[in-house]
DNA sequence: TCGAGCATGTAAATTGTTACATGATTTT
DNA sequence: AAAATCATGTAACAATTTACATGCTCGA
């Protein structure tokens, strides 16, 4: 059984505690979304697939007349998740349109290139604000140490990147000043 | 006309000079692949679409009896590419399976978590070697300054990341030594 | 002559996003 | 009473990977 990326992150959150599809989406959006996102269009169909495969179990848990289904990971699901987790191999894919634009930025004016560099900078500053807000809030996953390690990585990387793009901005400005 | 990511990178390389599909793939693999990859399964069909849309022109350029088609960007194609390039907005998506595994690493033994951290380290060291080899070789795109900026980003990031994961390794080892 | 590299392509499957649709509950 | 949020889902589309298939050319 090969788990898709979405299946794996869902199983991971269900391994911590039972949740509804809606709650899984919230968990992803509050934590892994920077490096592993998931949309409702994937989550709900995938929950059904996982249930058919016996990796999770569904339970009706309505709030009043509003229907709600909570999923619980099974022993088989836990085994699958552990197997994925224990394998030290991993995929790492990046689709970075700003680096791509910068790559071809010789075809831009100085002003346009500068705008690009500043837009990129802004992204890192925004992330930094968001991640620091998580950092000072209550722990996302109680008793778990590694989510904090990942958060620390996010903050450290954002700081490094913000600084890198700021110094790139200064270099571009200096270059423009010397060449008319 | 909305250009797909693959279309855009192809048009970008064709804006620098005419190439065959094979040569576009080589260009991508030698330069943008770390942040923007493309496979033959996309490139060849997309070249035909771009030709139908009038953004590129095909020309037969066989080597002996081996067929070969070289594509040249048209004025319309250049306009489309410039329009994409001049827009300072960008997408940035990451699918980082190693951060995801680290996020759930409380479910792993110390040894397994350490193996994961070391595997991640190895990736950055490998990239660093590859990027430094490009850095000392002949310039990939003659007369263009920004590809070197992107390369510098890649090298600086790889150095930062290698260091970060090394210090994470030391922290894990220290933690394991203090807690039995 | 054999293998590496040049060169082009298709088909199937997977993966994922976006937009749409519906309705209940809670907060302002 | 309206708006935000909770909650679930589908359909259409877009993007992408992988595996397969074919055949030429050049250097060892």
B131 assigned to some structural domain: yes
Is there a single domain that holds both residue B113 and residue B171? Answer: yes
pLDDT of B98 over the 80 cut = yes
Is there a single domain that holds both residue A112 and residue A152? Answer: yes
CB-based contacts of B27, cutoff 8 Å, min separation 6? B13, B19
- Overall residue count recorded for chain A in this entry: 180
Give this prediction's pTM.
0.94
B68 assigned to some structural domain: yes
CB contact under 8 A, B12 and A144: no
CB contact at 8 A, A39 and A31:
no
Give the residue from A65, A86, A107 where a domain finishes: A86
B107 touching chain A per CB within 8 A: yes
Using alpha carbons, select from A101, A122, A121 the residue that is nearest to residue A166. A121
pLDDT of B136 over the 80 cut = no
Of A166-170, B37-41, B47-51, B144-148, the one with minimum mean pLDDT is: B144-148
- A95 sits within 7 Å of strand C by its CB: no
Is there a single domain that holds both residue B39 and residue B64? Answer: yes
Is there a single domain that holds both residue B77 and residue B116? Answer: no
CB atoms within 10 A of CB A127: 19
Q: What are phi and psi of A111, to 5 degrees?
A: -65, -45
How far is residue A18's CA from residue B56's CA, in Å, rounded to a whole number?
53
CB atoms within 10 A of CB A176: 14
Cα separation values, B37 from A15, A165, B26, B69, B174, Å: 33, 23, 11, 21, 38
Give the residue from B86, B105, B134 where a domain finishes: B86
Give the residue from A31, A53, A86 where a domain finishes: A86
pLDDT of A104 over the 70 cut = yes
Q: Give the CA-trace dihedral at B116, B118, B121, B123, to 10 degrees.
A: -70
pLDDT of B6 over the 80 cut = yes
Q: What percentage of chain B reaches a pLDDT higher than 90?
A: 89
The total number of structural domains that make up chain B: 2
Using alpha carbons, select from A137, A140, A132 the residue that is nearest to residue A162. A132
Is there a single domain that holds both residue A122 and residue A172? Answer: yes
Domain holding B53, by residue range, is: 5-86
pLDDT of A95 over the 90 cut = yes
Among B87, B89, B103, B171, the strongest candidate for a mutation testing the A interface, having the largest count of A CBs within 10 A, is B103
| Closest residue by C-alpha to C1' distance, nucleotide C25 | A66
The C-alpha angle B63, B65, B70, rounded to 5 degrees, equals: 40
Q: Which two three-digit tokens encode residue A152? A: 């620390």
A147 touching chain B per CB within 8 A: yes
Is there a single domain that holds both residue B54 and residue B16? Answer: yes
Residue with tokens 């505690």: A17
Is there a single domain that holds both residue B107 and residue B165? Answer: yes
CATH code of the domain in which B61 resides: 1.10.10.10
Distance from CA of B152 to the nearest CA of A (A): 10
């Amino acid at each position: 059984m090969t788990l898709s990326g979405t299946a794996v992150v869902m199983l991971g959150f269900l391994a911590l505690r039972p949740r509804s599809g809606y709650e899984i989406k919230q968990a992803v959006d509050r934590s892994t979304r920077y490096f592993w996102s998931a949309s409702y269009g994937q989550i709900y169909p995938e929950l059904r697939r996982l249930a058919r495969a016996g990796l999770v179990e569904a339970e009706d848990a309505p709030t009043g007349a509003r229907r709600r289904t909570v999923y619980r990971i099974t022993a088989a699901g836990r085994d699958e998740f552990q197997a994925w987790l224990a394998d030290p191999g991993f995929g790492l894919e990046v689709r970075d349109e700003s680096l791509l634009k910068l790559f071809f930025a010789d075809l831009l004016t100085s002003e346009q290139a500068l705008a690009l560099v500043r837009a990129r900078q802004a992204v890192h500053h925004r992330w930094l604000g968001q991640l620091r807000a998580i950092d000072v809030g209550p722990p996302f996953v109680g008793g778990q140490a590694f989510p904090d390690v990942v958060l620390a990585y996010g903050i450290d990387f954002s700081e490094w990147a913000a600084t890198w793009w700021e110094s790139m901005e200064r270099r571009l400005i200096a270059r423009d000043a010397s060449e008319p």
